[in-house]
Structures are given as C-alpha cells and as structure tokens.
Structure 1
Amino acid sequence: MTPTPLTWIKSSYSGNDGPDCVEVAISLTRHPTIHIRDSKNKDAARLEFTDGAWSDFLEFAVGR
C-alpha cells in the first residue's frame, strides 16, 4: 500500500515572499497524526504528534 502524500499548510504568520515559519499536515489514517516541519528547510527533520498529544500541547500553549 502506497502512503498518501501529506498536504502541508503554511502558518498564517509566514509571508509569501517574507520569512517563513512552520507548516502543518494532518494524516487521517487509522491513527491520526499531526506533522510539523520548518517551511524554510522542508527536507529537515519533522515532528510528529498523535492527535491526543497535539491536543494536550495546544491546551498547554493557550493556557487553559
């Protein structure tokens, strides 16, 4: 089975011709994962979170 390519979404803080930031992709497989990469270096290491870990991170980041 061939994996489905990820669709990357650039952060709204990244400009089209200015400094870039991060990109996020969501894989909706049997075990959903959230992928994060540096939009300036797309071939570098990436972070990958389970949906639960990502929810925990967001809850912590916004201080709720």
Structure 2
Amino acid sequence: MAVIERAGTHYQQQLIADPQQIRRVRRIVAALLRYWGWGEVIDPALLCVTELLANVGSHTCSRE
C-alpha cells in the first residue's frame, strides 16, 4: 500500500507488484507531487518509486 501525506493531504493506493504498472505509478506520484507544490522533488521521488517497485518485483513471490 502506498501512502503519501503532506499537511493534511493524504493519498493511499494499494499496488500490485507488476512491472507493467511502474509507469502508471510514476505518473500518479509526479502528478500528486506537482499538485501539492513539491515539484522540486519529483525527479528523486520517481527514481525511488522505480527502484522500489523494481525491487519488490525482483525479491518477492507475491504480486501484492
């Protein structure tokens, strides 16, 4: 489950460990960061999202 919180703003989404979904998740994260005024952290956040989801897919048996 992904949870992003900022000053009372909350976003939560359950993710499935599917490499085909990484692009979609990156777009969601970028859009939310831009909306919340955190544009300066989009690039490093997207790198973290990509690495995290790639590692989940590589190191788990579960797709959830």
Q: TM-score, normalised by structure 1?
A: 0.29
Report which of the two has the higher share of helix.
2
Report which of the two has the higher share of strand.
1
Structure having greater relative contact order (Cα 8 Å, sep ≥ 6)? 2
Structure whose CA Rg is larger? 1
